[in-house]
Amino acid sequence: MDNQRLLVWALFGMMAWLTYQAWMQDYGQKPVAAPAATEAPATEAGTDVALPDLDAPAIDAPDVMPSVDAIGDEVVGQPQSSPAIRVETDVFRVDINTQGGTLQHAELLHYPVAKDRPDELVDLLSTDVGQLGLIQTGLRSVGDGPEANHRAGFSSSRQSYELNGADELLVPLSWTDGAGITVEKRYRFKRGSYKIVIEQEVTNRSDQAWRGAEYAQLQRRLFEQQRSMFDVDSYSFDGPIVYDGDKSAKLNRDDLEDDGPYAFAADQGWFGAIQHHFVSAVIPEPGTSQRYNVSIRGDVMTASGIGSAATVQSGEANTFTTTVFVGPKLQSQLEDIDPSLKLTVDYGWLTILSQPLFWLLSKAFGIFGNWGVAIISVTVLIKLLFYKLTESSGRSMAKMRNLQPRLKALQERYKDDRQQLSQAMMELYKREKVNPAAGCLPILIQMPFFLAFYWVLLESVEMRQAPFALWISDLSSRDPFFILPLIMGAAMFFQQKLNPQVGDPVQVKVMQIMPIIFTVFFAFFPSGLVLYWVTNTLLSIAQQWKINKVVEAEAKQKKGGKKSKSD
């Protein structure tokens, strides 16, 4: 098989891989759930769900907790009648409803929805039905008395809090059952962080022991995903994600509808909802036994986790701690909470290559302060790393170029006998020590890095809306004027002129239109990815031009030496 045919197959292989990645987003392997816990009853779509059911015991809870009926007919997405507390830090603006202490609004101050709409900020939590997002926490208790669940009325001494110049902000809410049990729910915010630590301290001043468990649940809108080649964002997963202490699983809407709730138990798990560059996640205290459940009703997904029952004796107190992350997928912050949270940044099968690549890009960004320059510098490093390997391939290409007249003569001689032509060409390659497939090696080497760059640019929020220079204002989206793809197409055309044109006329014509195909194909890719390919192509052109000159000089010297001997 000649060089041209391999190049064509390499192109189609790359396109097939990208198609496979998109297919896996929609129809990938379904996660295998652990044996399901007792399902909590739920009301019709669009209404609040049941409180987490404690009938089924947690991993090490010997007690059987009371069952709980559906919450009633409160409508999800409608503003609660209870007042909300406004909290503002240096990174986000949060609303906490005094009914249950529900997190019902989280506006990210440094992340506009689009660059041309700087005043419209990303809002990960909302009571609006179309963008519904609620994080509810509470306590379930044994017995028929009142409990501090997410429907209970809490009180607060203030209606607003601001971080201002402090490093930490504490927002307390309080609840009492009137019989000696009090609960203080504290929200801890830190400067520069999207982490919220929720502490629920139970103080027992009654004459009886209190027994119960803490829980948390996330409600999030979950719609059918619409894919579009004109919008790279649409190929990023949008929906629930869980971690069972061993591996993570993204749960598709269709799977939840067809197979029912997804349930498992773990000592080191968490759950959340991801949408491209952002995540809302609930992380129970490490080492606590939890039962998890994810279900869907209508267009609302509910994920919950409930811990083991604990006893608070009379005159004692106990604090339950849950960590919530609501913000961009900043890998440094996610890893500080739990290393497994980095799995919300979905690099797919190429994580083994994408993670080091992102680390390298981050280091380069730390030096240059520009993600576009970082991409260029890392591309240069990759090129240098494989220089010797591609140099060997380039020499074969240059030798092939010098053989062009002789190859054309063979094509004319055996134009009616393809088998004889192939045999004669292979004999010529063997005699001249030329590998016709060597030209495919560079593109085969590039493909894994190309795909890794694709997912790093698509999934890394650090590069979201990151400018490069001139008209490139967002490396994670397509070039608005298609200038960079046109430059890439021109560079590929020039690169073809440096390489030999072998094969039958049909193959040659296919290779001649390849720059056009690539230009159209890349037109809707993230401009950072096109920048990588342009840089790599220009470096390849410079390398091949130099190699061609060296090989030509060697050929002339060899020819001159033979001529001298004959004289």
Name the amino acid, one letter, at 528: G
pLDDT digits (tens, 9 = 90+) for 163-187: 998 999 999 999 998 889 999 999 9
Better-scored residue on pLDDT, 54 or 460: 460
* Mean local confidence (pLDDT), 103-129: 90
Question: Across the chain, what does the average pLDDT equal?
Answer: 79
CA atoms within 13 A on the CB side of 157: 6
**64 pLDDT exceeds 50?**
no
Give 296-306 pLDDT, tens digit per residue. Answer: 999 999 999 99
Q: End-to-end CA distance of the chain, in Å?
A: 40
Q: What is the C-alpha separation between 3 and 397, in angstroms, rounded? A: 9
Nearest residue to 183 (alpha-carbon basis) of 314, 282, 320, 54: 320
- 539 SS3 class: helix
Tokens of 75: 């409508």
Going by C-alpha positions, the residue among 304, 324, 296 that lies closest to residue 264 is: 304
Select from 94, 279, 274, 83 the least CA-distant residue to 190.
94
Give me the mean pLDDT over the 72-85 stretch: 56
pLDDT reading at 499 higher than 70? no
Give residue 290's pLDDT band: very low, low, confident or very high (50, 70, 90).
Answer: very high
Closest Cα to residue 218, out of 435, 49, 470, 436? 49
| Higher per-residue pLDDT: 88 or 419 | 88
Residue 419 buriedness (CB in 10 A; 0-12 / 13-18 / 19+):
exposed
Q: Which residue has the tokens 């993204």?
A: 250
Per-residue burial over 244-280, b = 16 or more CB atoms within 10 Å of its CB, e = otherwise: beeebbbbbbebbeeeebbbbbbebbbbbbbbbbbbb
pTM to 2 decimal places: 0.77
Taking only the tens place, the pLDDT of each residue in 525-550 is 888 888 988 998 898 888 778 777 76
**Cα separations in angstroms, 332 against 351, 415, 439:** 16, 63, 40
Domain edges within the chain? 49-346, 358-557
Report yes or no: 560 and 515 within 8 Å, Cβ to Cβ: no
The predicted pLDDT at position 443 comes to: 63
Q: Which tens digit of pLDDT belongs to each residue from 467-495? A: 888 889 888 888 888 898 999 888 888 87
Report, at the CATH architecture level, how domain 49-346 is classified.
Distorted Sandwich (2.70)
Q: What is the pLDDT of residue 42?
A: 33
pLDDT for residue 30 is more than 60: no
**What pLDDT band is residue 63 in, cutting at 50, 70 and 90?**
very low
Residue 145 has what pLDDT? 82
- Asked which of 119-133, 176-190, 318-332, 376-390 is least confident by mean pLDDT, the reply is 376-390
pLDDT at residue 62 tops 50: no
All residues at 6 or more sequence positions from 254 whose CB lies less than 8 Å from its CB, including other chains: none
The backbone torsions φ and ψ at residue 436, rounded to the nearest 5 degrees and listed phi first, read: -65, -20
In which band, very low, low, confident or very high, does the pLDDT at 398 lie, cut at 50, 70 and 90? low
* Sequence-ordered alpha helix ranges (H) in 51-169: none
**Between residues 510 and 205, the one the model is more confident about:** 205
Q: Based on DSSP, count helices (H) and strands (E) in the chain, helices before strands.
A: 13, 19
In percent, the amount of the chain with pLDDT more than 90 equals: 37
DSSP string, 340-370: GGGGGS--GGGHHHHHHHHHHHHHHHHHHS-
pLDDT at residue 284 greater than cutoff 60: yes
The answer for residues whose C-beta is within 8 angstroms of residue 276's C-beta and 6 or more apart is 233, 236, 238, 459
Nearest to 243 by CA among 267, 226, 260: 267
